[in-house]
Chains A and B, each alone.
Chain A
Amino acid sequence: MPEFKMGLVDGPSTDEPGRVWDLVVAGGGPAGMSAAIYAARYSLETLVLEGMEPGGQLSLTARIENYPGVPETSGADLASAMRKQVLDSGSTLRSEVVRSVEDKGGKGLVVYTDSAEYAARCLMIATGAAPRRLGVPGEERLHGRGVSYCATCDAPFFRDAHVMVVGGGDSAVKEAMHLADFADRVTLIHRRDELRAEPILARRIQSREGVEILWSTTLEEILGDDSVEGVILSRDGDRQRMDLDGVFLYVGRSPATAPFRGLVELADDGTVLTRGNVLTSHPGVVAAGDVTDNPLRQIVTAVGDGARAATAVYEKLKG
């Protein structure tokens, strides 16, 4: 086996009976990891249930250049460094997914995973968000056969190929830049007539060789039997076929809030409603990062709100 930087943490998957954690953090992205580091420094007994994707979306980001003090790094490297810092801090990490939470009234909460249950005084929701499916014909069938949601993972399969990126936000533009390092031709399509991405990214992509942008264009269908062969695009009602080898979708993200429905108030889009960035409708539950209704969804804001959330829990438990 090759060496890996991120691994499962050894330890019992069923909790010690009678143990009550001060803070259980659901989610192992930057928000959850930052909270775990701060909580450990407040001497809170903290358990991070990092779920299916240690590092969260951060691990899937090719290049990061807006995190202060780290001029340029990869998401996987930054996530790995944060994770090591969590382990060194004394907080406990387990690779389990939170499935549901029971409110014990004044007696705290019980957090359930597939293999264990954990009693907690406070809970932090930091489960982030997952790439949204566009829902067009061909998308599901050709996933892994030319349809991808992770350019960082899959760009090298498209050397000298023609690929399409769908979306106009930061992720779409950044991943299109990454793809342009491999592919011969990158076509970015966006349903509006200007990009939503940071101006610096928008300028860069528009002058990048090998990248073309089709405005006011939507993806209607992905074609191919065993692998992607082309797409049907629509512009002003005109449908047009374009032959290409890969489709990368960056059309927003869905917050992972299903286990917390009924526990805290959610906004119409499924995000956790917050006050003061991290407080929820439940006095024993805080939230941070992309799972919340905070509009700026960056590593730096997730990390900042993670620290705020840990501090709010500390203040509460201190009484």
Chain B
Amino acid sequence: MAVRNLASGELESVKDPGERLSVVDFSADWCGPCKMLHPVLEKVSEEMADRVDFYTVDVDQAQAEASRLGIRGVPTMIVFHGGSEVDRMVGFRDASSLTGRLRELADQHVDGE
């Protein structure tokens, strides 16, 4: 499972992934921490492929959506389940803290493994 680029307008379609979580990373190519986060997301997406889908959105290409979601900093990761936001993380996270947080959320929102 890799991290899929999401084009403007595609966001609605990934908010409700059924019995899974969606993590949408809002980032920009002028942001250093975003560049550091990308390889971390790739790694975590492999580890959590059974329960979580990963997407990345370029905020410059999706300004209206970013603004609607109140995003005023990058990288921001929003976790969706069942069409709603269940968590939001601002700034860089390393693989172990991101995996830890997503496991908690998956245990809370997604049945079983």
A17 to chain B, nearest CB (A): 22
Residues of A contacting B94 with CB < 8 Å?
A: 51-52, 95, 97
**Known contacts A1-B38, A148-B73, A150-B73: does B92 contact A143 (CB below 8 Å)?**
no
Q: Which of A55, A114, A226 contacts B32 (CB 8 A)?
A: A55
A59 adjacent to chain B (CB < 8 Å): yes
- Determine whether the beta carbon of A154 is less than 8 Å from that of B72: yes
Q: Which of B5, B32, B88, B90 contacts A1 (CB 8 A)?
A: B5
Number of A positions contacting B (CB below 8 A):
37
Which of B12-20, B39-47, B102-110 lies at the binding interface?
B39-47
- Determine whether the beta carbon of A4 is less than 8 Å from that of B33: no
Residue of B nearest to A55 (CB): B32
A310 to chain B, nearest CB (A): 25
| Complex Cα spacing A264 to B109, Å | 44
Residue of A nearest to B96 (CB): A114
A115 adjacent to chain B (CB < 8 Å): yes
- Determine whether the beta carbon of B36 is less than 8 Å from that of A157: no
Residues of B contacting A154 with CB < 8 Å?
A: 72-74
- What DSSP secondary structure best describes chain A's contact surface? loop
B2-56 residues at the A interface, CB under 8 angstroms: 2-3, 5, 28-36, 38-40, 42-43, 56
B58 adjacent to chain A (CB < 8 Å): yes
- Determine whether the beta carbon of B32 is less than 8 Å from that of A59: yes
Which of A5-13, A33-41, A168-176, A293-301 lies at the binding interface?
A5-13
**Known contacts A1-B5, A148-B72, A227-B70: does B38 contact A59 (CB below 8 Å)?**
no
Residues of A contacting B95 with CB < 8 Å?
A: 95
Residues of A contacting B38 with CB < 8 Å?
A: 1-2, 4, 7
**Known contacts A52-B94, A55-B32: does B73 contact A144 (CB below 8 Å)?**
yes
| Complex Cα spacing A158 to B60, Å | 13
Residue of A nearest to B88 (CB): A144
B64 to chain A, nearest CB (A): 13
B62 adjacent to chain A (CB < 8 Å): no
| Complex Cα spacing A79 to B36, Å | 12
A76 adjacent to chain B (CB < 8 Å): yes
Chain A 158-171: CB-based contact to B (< 8 A → 1; otherwise 0): 10000000000000
**Known contacts A52-B92, A154-B73, A158-B72: does B30 contact A4 (CB below 8 Å)?**
no
Query: Which of B29, B32, B72, B73: most chain A Cβ within 10 A?
Result: B32
| Complex Cα spacing A8 to B71, Å | 27
B53 to chain A, nearest CB (A): 15
| Complex Cα spacing A143 to B66, Å | 15
| Complex Cα spacing A150 to B31, Å | 10
- For the complex of A and B, 6 pairs with smallest distance between CB atoms: A144-B90, A76-B32, A4-B35, A59-B32, A154-B73, A8-B39
28 contacts between A and B (CB under 8 A): A2-B38, A2-B58, A4-B35, A5-B35, A6-B36, A6-B39, A8-B39, A8-B40, A52-B94, A60-B32, A60-B33, A95-B94, A97-B94, A114-B96, A144-B71, A144-B88, A144-B91, A148-B72, A150-B91, A153-B73, A154-B73, A156-B28, A157-B66, A157-B72, A157-B74, A158-B72, A227-B72, A246-B72
